[in-house]
Structure 1
Amino acid sequence: MPWSWRLQGSDGSTVTVPGLPEETFTTQADAETWLGVNWRELRAGGVERVALLEDDAVVYPMSLLDPE
């Protein structure tokens, strides 16, 4: 089962970050490691929320914004 991230902007629309290709991963750990490495670039590219997907099912959503 492939794992991937849905990247979303402030209005919930899907965001594509130039220079950062969409990727799929063979494990949840690989997907989470990728996010840990790339979250700053995602934020700079306008991503405010992400959702981890297993196939097409949302495993969990997460905000990339600083806590208030």
Structure 2
Amino acid sequence: MAWTWTYETADGATVGRSEAFDSRSDAESWVGEEFNALLEQGIDQLRLFDGDTEVYGPMSLHPA
């Protein structure tokens, strides 16, 4: 399966999707690298998918 992130606004509206990653660790590492760029694009939260199955989310990009 391919691992992807969906990008969402604070109200949960999907506004995009990441590239596909071969592993969960690759997907999670990518978020760490792109965190600030995602915030600058107006992304508020993410959801991680393994194929069509949601693994977790929403994960806020803002401090608690």
State how 1:1-68 maps to structure 2 within 5 Å.
Answer: 1-16=1-16, 22-61=18-57, 62-67=59-64
Q: Using the alignment, how far apart are the partners of 2:5 and 2:28 within structure 1? A: 9
Identity %: 37
Q: Which runs of 5+ in 1 are unaligned?
A: none
- Report the TM-score, using the length of structure 1 for normalisation: 0.84
Contact kept, 8 Å, 1:15 with 1:46, in 2: the verdict is no
* Pairs aligned (count): 63
**Match of 1:59, as an amino acid?**
V
**Match of 2:2, as an amino acid?**
P
- Report the TM-score, using the length of structure 2 for normalisation: 0.89
Q: Which runs of 5+ in 2 are unaligned?
A: none
Following TM superposition, by how much is the alpha carbon of 1:15 offset from its aligned partner in structure 2, in angstroms?
2.1
Tell me how large the CA RMSD over aligned residues is: 1.4
**Dislocated runs of 4+, deviation >3 Å:** none
